[in-house]
Structures are given as structure tokens and as C-alpha cells.
A = this chain, B = another copy of it.
Amino acid sequence: MQKISESTVKRLSLYLRILEEFEAKNHETLSSEDLASRTGATSAQVRKDLSLFGSFGKRGLGYPISELSKKIRQIMGLEHPSRVILVGAGKLGAALVGYHGFAEHGFNIVAAYDKDRKRIGQSLGSLKVTAEDKLEADLRRDPVDIAIITTPSGVAQEVADRLARCGVRAVLNFTNTKLMVPGEIVVKDVNMAVELESLSFAIQNQYREAI
């Protein structure tokens, strides 16, 4: 199969969101243009993206919603819910545990670890914060594919190393550290400061262009 670009993958995820919305409303089909206008893509892009995986549409009609959404979930490995752990139960970590957006999309946070004595044992929603030194034993018993790192940046690499040794295959990294991991492990960085700074640049730049 051909290599799929990161941007295509992100868009698939957006298409899926729309498909699910219209599936709930019992609509039958959506055109590439419908999907495009609701996700910020172009219709050609939607068609290209989808055609990378096969030919799902009906000419003159559009794409059958429930069939396509099922197919996308299949492509993206979303047919079954995944178990996710979180390391670092500070403010951000706590919020992510409490945030229902993850569970809605089938990502269940099943444990939250922290080093800090004061946090261990505290309740986070339906979870209790676990001592971080239990990590290895827990993962040996119940492996997970995905971990979220919300520790301070200084310890992120060490945490990543431990996760890698325990067979974690994907990491969502909220710290500022560029993680070095074995090639088979996938890391995605989420850096909200970067996003805000991009906004700042865009504003600044508008101003500059106006001069």
C-alpha cells in the first residue's frame, strides 16, 4: 500500500467526526463537497484522501455514510476501544483524565501515574492516582498500546524509556522535550504554547503586512 501522509490521516479523523454526526441523524449519503465544507478541506482533497484506500463513493450520489465511517474506523484502527495510560497527574493530566472527549472516541484512560507522594491515591474522576513505580508491574500484567505523558519536561525522556521497555507503542507527548525513542514507537507532540505562539505570529504578521 502507498504511504499515507500525516495530513491525510488527520483529515480522515475529521471526516469521521462529520460522518458520525450525520450517521446519528440517519442520513444516507454525503458528497465530497459536504465533507469538505465541514472540515475545511476541498472536495478534491476529500476524494483524493478516500481514494487512497479504495473507491467507496457512488458517482452522482456521494459516499454512503455508515459504510464509509465503518471503513475509516477500520483503516484507523478504531474498531475497538483502546486502553490508554497517563503518566503525570498534575493539572494538565488531571484535566485530560476528566475530559470526556477521549472516551467518546474510544480512548479509555485506565490508569494515571505520578511520582508525587501527595498525589498518589488521590481520586481523579473514577480513577485513583497510582504510584509511578508500579508502572512496570502493571504494564506487564495488562499491556497498553498508548500512553500520554504529562509529566514535567525534565523527566519525560526517562518516562518514555520506561514505557518503551514495557511495550508501549505510541506516545502522546505534552511536554517540551523532544523524545528519543526506538523506531517502532510513534510519538506525537502536543504543544499548546506552540499553537498560541503561531496565533501570535499570525496577528503580528497581519499588522506588518498592513504597513
Interface string of A174-211 (1 = CB under 8 A from B): 00101000001010101111111111111111101100
Given A38-B178, A190-B192, A194-B13 in contact, is the A170-B200 Cβ separation under 8 Å?
yes
Say yes or no: B9 contacts A193, CB within 8 Å: no
Task: Give the docked Cα–Cα distance between A98 and B192 (Å).
Answer: 14
Task: Give the docked Cα–Cα distance between A203 and B144 (Å).
Answer: 12
A38, A184, A196, most chain B CB atoms within 10 A: A196
**Does A56 lie at the interface of the complex (its beta carbon under 8 Å from any beta carbon of B)?**
no
**Does A92 lie at the interface of the complex (its beta carbon under 8 Å from any beta carbon of B)?**
yes
Say yes or no: A199 contacts B170, CB within 8 Å: yes
**Does A155 lie at the interface of the complex (its beta carbon under 8 Å from any beta carbon of B)?**
no
Interface bracket on A: 35 or more
Partner of A186, one of B9, B13, B202: B202
Given pairs A10-B194, A13-B191, A92-B95, 17 additional interface contacts (CB within 8 A): A4-B201, A75-B204, A76-B197, A77-B203, A78-B197, A82-B200, A92-B101, A95-B95, A99-B192, A101-B193, A102-B193, A146-B196, A169-B206, A170-B200, A184-B206, A186-B199, A190-B192
